[in-house]
A and B are shown apart, each in its own frame.
Chain A
Amino acid sequence: MATISFDLVSPENLIFNDEVGMIIVPGKDGDFGVLPGHSKVMSSLRPGRVMVYGEDKNLLKAFFVSGGFAEVNPEKCIVLAESVDEINSIEKSLIEKEIQKLEEQETDISKEQLNIAKAKIDALDSNYYEKI
């Protein structure tokens, strides 16, 4: 079966770079799946989960991205994310504390961070796309 090359890049390093079977990306207007041979798309992303699947559609890795961009062409998918966490490494209690702290502040930046933190919790709780 065909594969597509997938790069997940944060400003600090290259996090993932391999041939995969499918990726689900949290586009600004909704999630979209990328299979090998996908048409050319450039999309901005909302905070959410990037799911990476192997050739037989088994889940390889799940990441949380806080926003960014995706560029897709038939051979390659590149996700540029501002910050990336592997879903398994996120500590729910820490995020909940952060949310509490952020809710007390009322600045534009804290609101943005709050949205990201809430999306993180949602990402942890949801089990969509885990088996397809």
Chain B
Amino acid sequence: MPSLKDIKTQINSVGSTKKITSAMKMVAASKLRRSQEKAEAARPYSSRLEEMLASLASSAASGEGIIKLLTGTGNHQNYIVVPVSADRGLCGGFNSSINRETFKLVKSLESDGKNVQLMPVGKKSRDFFNRVMKDQIVESFVDLNISNSGYESALKVSNKLQELYFDSKFDKCIIVFNKFKSAISQEVTQQQLIPLDVSDSSDEENADTTATKAIYDYEPDEETILKDLLPKNVSIQIFKVLLESDAGEHGARMAAMDNATRNAGEMIDSLTLKYNRTRQAFITKELIEIISGAESV
């Protein structure tokens, strides 16, 4: 039977863990609110950009140079996969689900005979893929700190990707990230970044854009605008993904810490019960000893 003192120390240590987890929960909750605001603030830009792009995309013929971001290289052999994880842990299944999903994707692409490279974003996925697929990593980005440095950090990733793309290092880029659904749920999502996936926009939308296209005047001309717009679109997509992932991370951490706090509370309750029972048992034992001692006299 554990001594009273042992149980007391256990209760105290669980209690201090509970304090830490509940503090982390509070921090995550306030960060979540901020990054959610950021994600919402970024929405007007990306939706406008998408609209513009949609009305221009139909006019793009296959060609060389920047247009390749839209039309593709014509090959489907070389892939680059970008898993976006958090830099820090203690957020439930957030990071591991990204790593698992990416791992599965890479394996399935490889079994189709494709070459796959990796460009992990975030410490947790970098560390994971450093262990399992070290030689496939071309570049990794950690400590991007999207909530402070904002668009700049998205540009870093985007510039590197485009540099590799125009060096013909890969044909397709898929980004794997946690889509922010609500404060407590994230969904692992795969999105094709390069070439631009226009199949997303439905047919009716396409019909709509051809209608608007006829009316617009372009300055200087459609192709020049498209050439400016496409690289920007890649950056903005990455920016959006990073923001979503950031909000998702805080949401996941909040949920995980909430659970941990509740578990710690339950543990303290059961330990306190155990403590009281043990104490009572000692008292009873001592009483019996005294009484039986008195009787024997």
A interface residues, Cβ below 8 angstroms from B: 7, 9-14, 27-29, 32, 39-44, 67, 69, 71, 78, 80, 82
Contact = CB atoms under 8 A, between A and B. Distances in A.
A11 B217 contact: no
Contact of B48 (A28, A29, A80): A80
A14 B38 CA distance: 11
A78 B48 contact: yes
15 contacts: A11-B45, A11-B150, A11-B235, A12-B42, A28-B220, A39-B217, A40-B215, A40-B216, A40-B217, A41-B219, A42-B217, A43-B220, A44-B228, A80-B45, A80-B49
A9 B232 CA distance: 14
A42 B56 CA distance: 10
A83 B154 CA distance: 14
B225 A42 contact: yes
Interface of B: 38, 41-42, 44-46, 48-49, 51-52, 55-56, 150-151, 154, 212, 215-220, 224-225, 228-229, 232, 235-236, 239
Contacts of B225: 42-44, 69
Contacts of B49: 69, 80
B42 A27 contact: no
Contact of B219 (A29, A78, A80): A29
A84 B232 CA distance: 16
- Interface residues of A, dominant DSSP: strand
Given A69-B225, A80-B49, A12 B217 contact: no
Contacts of A44: 219-220, 224-225, 228-229
Contacts of B44: 7, 9, 14
Given A7-B44, A11-B235, 19 more contacts: A7-B48, A11-B154, A13-B41, A13-B42, A14-B44, A40-B212, A40-B215, A41-B216, A41-B217, A41-B218, A42-B52, A42-B56, A43-B219, A44-B229, A69-B49, A69-B52, A69-B225, A71-B48, A82-B151
B165 to A, nearest CB: 16
Contact of A10 (B45, B55, B154, B216): B45
Nearest to B56: A42
A60 to B, nearest CB: 20
B239 A9 contact: no
Contacts, number: 77
Contacts of A10: 45, 151
Given A12-B38, A12-B42, A44-B224, A69 B215 contact: no
- Interface residues of B, dominant DSSP: helix
A28 B224 contact: yes
B243 to A, nearest CB: 10
List the 7 closest A-B pairs by CB distance, nearest first. Answer: A13-B41, A43-B219, A11-B151, A9-B45, A40-B216, A41-B217, A44-B228
A40 to B, nearest CB: 5
Contacts of A40: 212, 215-217
Contacts of A71: 48, 51-52
Contacts of A12: 38, 41-42, 45, 150-151
Contacts of B56: 42
A122 to B, nearest CB: 21
B236 A11 contact: yes
* Residue with the greatest number of chain B CB neighbours at <10 A, chosen from A12, A27, A32, A39: A12
B229 A29 contact: no
B162 to A, nearest CB: 13
A123 B228 CA distance: 23
A12 to B, nearest CB: 5
A28 B42 CA distance: 25
B148 to A, nearest CB: 11
* Residue with the greatest number of chain A CB neighbours at <10 A, chosen from B150, B219, B225: B219
A10 B44 CA distance: 9
A65 to B, nearest CB: 13
A40 B41 CA distance: 26
A53 to B, nearest CB: 21
